[in-house]
């Protein structure tokens, strides 16, 4: 694969709040963003189970375990990059940089002191791939007083913004988040609430399956409207942007505390689907009312029951997968961190103060050299 006449290649890596594997995307961005190859690399079962346990429980751990997890996750990220490079039949020397988000273990923008923690040692990635690696994207914005999240809206703007047209871009990962691309060029973005994270956790607890394939479990249940109302009463849904959250807020114990009189498990699953749809619809009505269409990416796009609920809740707006715009909905996030690596090496800012609440633009990420 010759470098001559080829746009610069970048490789993005991320495991989101669902921790369902490491998404890897090989991209170029000139003259426009293009996905050359992608894959999802699974975590070892034991590692994923521990990540989810720490994210959903009280977080009890030790310094030794944090160090071990940082190395183990970093090695898995390096594996994902190497497998993708091999499958794409490119040489490491052809890739300008790897952008690695890592695995978020904690995101505490409202704590005192505030902090955000992503694991996955970038030194291991740089050493094993022999490619310059950019990582630790969130903390520069965090240090400036921003939320450090979400970071996707700046890339959504590069992909989907249209002059004189307001659009919404909805990412359905473990957490749902919304980007509002306004016709005047301004951008708003924020986390909405739970999506696949709670759906997957409740499904795994009651069926043993990692996720609710095709929404089959939820389709056997009925929405419990009293439970739905209790869930929607959480203050986070009413908070104004900028705002961000994660599993440390919306976890199984949060759900259990609001269940009431032992509803049927399938009714809870159906209610969680409606919770995502209703919270998204409320956010769109409050902040993207002028949008005629909502573009959807992330794993939730593959849940037909959830997509049906969203279309009903957002009607008459058009709800469409980003696949209809030539962008694979499974790899938008990984592409974003490849793009952010490119911005870092060009010494350009990667945050949007209108999204994160930071007082100004910041260049994001640390650079790790392979030698």
Is residue 64 assigned to a domain?
yes
Q: Which residue would you say has higher pLDDT here, 7 or 220?
A: 220
The answer to whether position 39 is within a domain reads yes
3-state secondary structure the chain: CCCCCCCCEEEEEEECCCCCCEEEEEEECCCCCEEEEEEEECCCHHHHHHHHHHHHCCCCCCHHHHHHHHHHHHHHHHHHHHHHHHHHCCCHHHEEEEEEEEEEEEEECCCCCCEEEEECCHHHHHHHHCCCEEECCCHHHHHCCCCCCCCCHHHHHHHHCECCECEEEEEECCEEEEEEECCCCCEEEEEEEECHHHHHHHHHHHHCCCCCHHHHHHHCCCCCHHHHHHHHCCHHHHCCCCCCCCCCCCCHHHHHCCCCCCCCHHHHHHHHHHHHHHHHHHHHHHHCCCCCEEEEECHHHHCHHHHHHHHHHHCCCEEEEHHHHCCCCCCHHHHHHHHHHHHHHCCCCCCCHHHHCCCCCCCCCEEECCC
Q: Does residue 314 belong to any structural domain of this protein?
A: yes
Is the per-residue pLDDT at 5 higher than 70? no
- The pLDDT tens digits of the residues spanning 227-268 come to 999 999 999 999 999 999 998 999 999 999 999 888 999 999
Same domain, 140 and 158: no
For residues 218-230, average pLDDT = 98
Residue 2 lies in a domain: no
Instruction: Output the pTM of the full model.
Output: 0.95
Confidence of residue 60 (pLDDT cuts 50, 70, 90): confident
**Percentage of the residues of the chain whose pLDDT score is greater than 70:** 98
Same domain, 66 and 119: yes
Residue 4, pLDDT above cutoff 70: no
CATH number for the domain spanning 180: value is 3.30.420.40
Q: How confident is the model at residue 137 (pLDDT cuts 50, 70, 90)?
A: very high
189 and 314 assigned to the same domain = yes
Instruction: Return the percentage of the chain with pLDDT > 90, whole number.
Output: 93
Q: Distances in Å between the alpha carbon of 59 and those of 17, 66, 198, 303?
A: 15, 11, 17, 30
> 105 and 60 share a domain?
yes
Domain-embedded: residue 1: no
Burial per residue of 232-266, b for 16 or more beta-carbon CB atoms within 10 angstroms, e otherwise: bebebbeeebbbbbbbbbbbbebbeeeeeeebebb
- Please state, as a whole number, how many other Cβ atoms lie within 10 Å of the Cβ of residue 46: 9
Is residue 216 located within the same domain as residue 139?
no
Residues 282 and 235 reside in one and the same domain: yes
pLDDT band at 3 (very low <50, low <70, confident <90, very high): very low
Q: Has residue 91 been placed in a domain?
A: yes
Average pLDDT over residues 314-328: 96
What is the mean predicted confidence (pLDDT) over 57-73? 91
Tell me: do 242 and 336 sit in the same domain: no
Q: Is the domain of 215 the same as that of 319? A: yes
pLDDT digits (tens, 9 = 90+) for 329-343: 999 999 999 999 999
Residue 7 pLDDT exceeds 90: no
Q: What is the mean pLDDT of residues 132-160?
A: 97
- Spatial contact of 225 and 270, defined as CB atoms under 8 Å apart: no
Let me know if residue 362 belongs to a domain: yes
Count of the separate structural domains present in the chain: 2
Q: Binning pLDDT at 50, 70 and 90, where does residue 1 land?
A: very low
pLDDT of residue 2: 38
pLDDT tens digits, 72-101: 999 999 999 999 999 999 999 999 999 999
Q: Are residues 160 and 262 in the same domain?
A: yes
Task: Give the pLDDT band (50/70/90) at residue 345.
Answer: very high
Per-residue pLDDT at 322: 97
**pLDDT-derived band at 55, boundaries 50, 70, 90:** confident
Domain that holds residue 128: 9-148+331-368
List, for residues 199-211, the tens digit of each pLDDT value: 999 999 999 999 9
pLDDT of 57 > 70? The answer is: no
Q: CA 101 to CA 98: how far, in whole Å?
A: 10
Same domain for 111 and 239, yes or no, is no
**Looking at the structure, do residues 223 and 260 belong to the same domain, yes or no?**
yes
**Residue 107 pairs with which residues in a beta bridge?**
116
The mean pLDDT of the chain is 95
4 lies in some domain? no
Looking at the structure, tell me whether residues 277 and 295 fall in a common domain: yes
């Amino acid at each position: 694969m010759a470098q001559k006449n080829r746009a610069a290649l970048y490789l993005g890596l991320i495991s989101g709040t669902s921790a369902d594997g490491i998404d890897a995307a090989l991209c170029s961005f000139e003259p426009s963003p293009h996905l050359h190859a992608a894959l999802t690399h699974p975590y070892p079962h034991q590692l994923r189970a521990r990540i989810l346990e720490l994210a959903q429980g009280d977080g009890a751990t030790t310094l030794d375990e944090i160090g071990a997890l940082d190395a183990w996750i970093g090695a898995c990220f390096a594996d994902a990059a190497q497998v993708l490079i091999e499958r794409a039949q490119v040489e490491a020397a052809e890739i300008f940089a790897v952008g690695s988000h890592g695995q978020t273990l904690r995101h505490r923008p409202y704590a005192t002191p505030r902090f955000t923690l992503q694991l996955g040692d970038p030194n291991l990635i740089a050493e094993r791939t022999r490619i310059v690696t950019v990582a630790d994207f969130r903390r520069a914005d965090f240090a400036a007083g921003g939320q450090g999240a979400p970071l996707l809206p700046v890339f959504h703007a590069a992909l989907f913004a249209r002059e004189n047209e307001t659009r919404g871009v909805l990412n359905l990962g473990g957490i749902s988040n919304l980007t509002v691309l306004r016709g005047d060029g301004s951008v708003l973005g924020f986390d909405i609430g739970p999506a696949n994270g709670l759906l997957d956790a409740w499904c795994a607890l009651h069926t043993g399956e990692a996720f609710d394939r095709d929404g089959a479990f939820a389709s056997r249940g009925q929405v419990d409207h009293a439970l739905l109302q209790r869930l929607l009463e959480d203050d986070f849904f009413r908070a104004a942007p900028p705002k961000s959250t994660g599993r440390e807020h919306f976890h199984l114990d949060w759900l259990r505390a609001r269940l009431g009189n032992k509803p049927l498990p399938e009714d809870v699953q159906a209610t969680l689907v409606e919770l995502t749809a209703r919270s998204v619809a409320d956010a769109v009505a409050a902040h993207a009312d002028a949008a005629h269409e909502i573009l959807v990416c992330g794993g939730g796009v593959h849940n037909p029951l959830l997509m049906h609920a969203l279309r009903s809740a957002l009607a008459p707006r058009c709800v469409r997968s980003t696949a209809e715009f030539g962008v694979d909905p499974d790899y938008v996030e990984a592409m974003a961190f490849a793009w952010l690596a490119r911005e870092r090496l060009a010494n350009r800012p990667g945050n949007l103060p209108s999204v994160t609440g930071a007082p100004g633009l910041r260049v994001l990420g640390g650079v790790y050299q392979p030698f």
